[in-house]
Amino acid sequence: VNEKKGVFRARRRRKAVLSTIFSVIAILYVLPVGVVLINAFKSNFFVKTKTFSLPDAESFVGLELY
Amino acid sequence: MFRNGSKPGKKTGRGSLLRRPIRRCWVLFLLPTAAAFAVGFAWPFLQGIYLSFCSFITTGDARWIGIGNYLSAFRDRGFLYSFRYTALFAVVSLVLINVLAFAVAYVLTRGIRGSNLFRTVFFMPNLIGGIVLGYIWSILFDGVLRWYNTSILLEARYGFWGLIILVCWQQVGYMMIIYIAGLQAVPEDMLEAARIDGAGSWQTLRRVTIPNLMPSITICTFLSLTNGFKLFDQNLALTGGAPFRFETAADGTLSTIKTTEMLALNIYNTFYGQSSAARGTAQAKAVLFFVLVASISIAQLRATRSREVQQ
């Protein structure tokens, strides 16, 4: 019984590890879409020069591009 | 005499009564589909082959010139370069997409928490169009490469790997869905029998899962191979063929090699970009392109189908 419990526990741990790894991969996977969304609120110049930074007072153009 | 007492040839079932007029007038029922096929596919296809032997600006002024267009297609160094480049791209993308898609599908069928969410996330890029994808990734690549004072348009190898990353990002999710369907169809009793026989997870994967997954592998390799050869929008939006290289041939003629230009983009640029006299050459390139894709796809289908297991 103890051996079976150990096997189940190891399996559950392995699944939790896989779940964590896949969560990280999934976040990285949607990152390009997130960057595009963020850049949609920045002026063209800052899209090209500060691609990955969040909009600040200087670069934020609100809904102007929409 | 039949079991229900009716005469031979006189079927009394409702289904057969309904089916009889269909059998008698099959030509009538076939006609709409055949007409649509002829108008929408066969006629343009044959016209395309005919035009590849002509010099033309519009389809109305085509003049037969024989195999001249094919000769100039083979003399075009840019076309030959695109040919090799596309073949390399198709092979690399085929391997990467299928390995990654299979790995993701395999893990997501292990019953891990959040697997439905992960499937959605991985499939999502497939919903974005090729041109938009190209622009999204050109912004991202240039954002990263700017730190190294370069751009995706300045180095051919960046363009190549950029395209590979892009198509992997786009297509892994789609292939993953096909692999998941295949993995779910692997009979549980076979897997259990393998476990009872003492097979480890690697042995089970190699000897049971993969042979049962061959129909999915056939479809996925076919799709990724043909998609790799036909890639156009992403190539146009991401690099547009840049960077360009200038080469001088033995006869002294200067030719431009677009180092990240794939076959479909090369045909497009020949048709619209150069003089209108090159349209016949573009048509000949398109026919060669069709022959290449069709023959490779048929060879690949035969190779993988022969490994499929009948259940």
Give alpha helix (H) positions in chain B. Answer: 14-24, 26-37, 43-51, 68-75, 77-108, 115-123, 130-145, 156-184, 188-196, 201-204, 210-212, 214-230, 233-238, 263-268, 279-305
Question: Which residues from A are below 8 Å from B107, CB to CB?
Answer: 18, 22
B136 and A CB contact within 8 Å:
yes
Say yes or no for a CB contact (<8 Å) between B110 and A39.
no
pLDDT of residue B311: 58
Q: Which residues touch B118 (CB under 8 Å, ≥6 apart)?
A: A22, A26, B104, B108
Mutate to test the interface with A, among B140, B146, B151, B201 (most CBs of A within 10 A): B140
Question: Which residues from B are below 8 Å from A42, CB to CB?
Answer: none
pLDDT of residue B140: 93
Q: How confident is the model at residue B18 (pLDDT cuts 50, 70, 90)?
A: low
- Distance between CA atoms of residues B157 and A16, nearest Å: 38
- Distance between CA atoms of residues B152 and B157, nearest Å: 9
Q: Is the ipTM of this complex over 0.85?
A: yes
Say yes or no for a CB contact (<8 Å) between A15 and B114.
no
pLDDT of residue B201: 87
Chain B: give the shortest CA distance to residue A15, in Å: 5
Pick from A22, A48, A52: CB nearest B112:
A22
Please state the pTM of the whole predicted model: 0.87
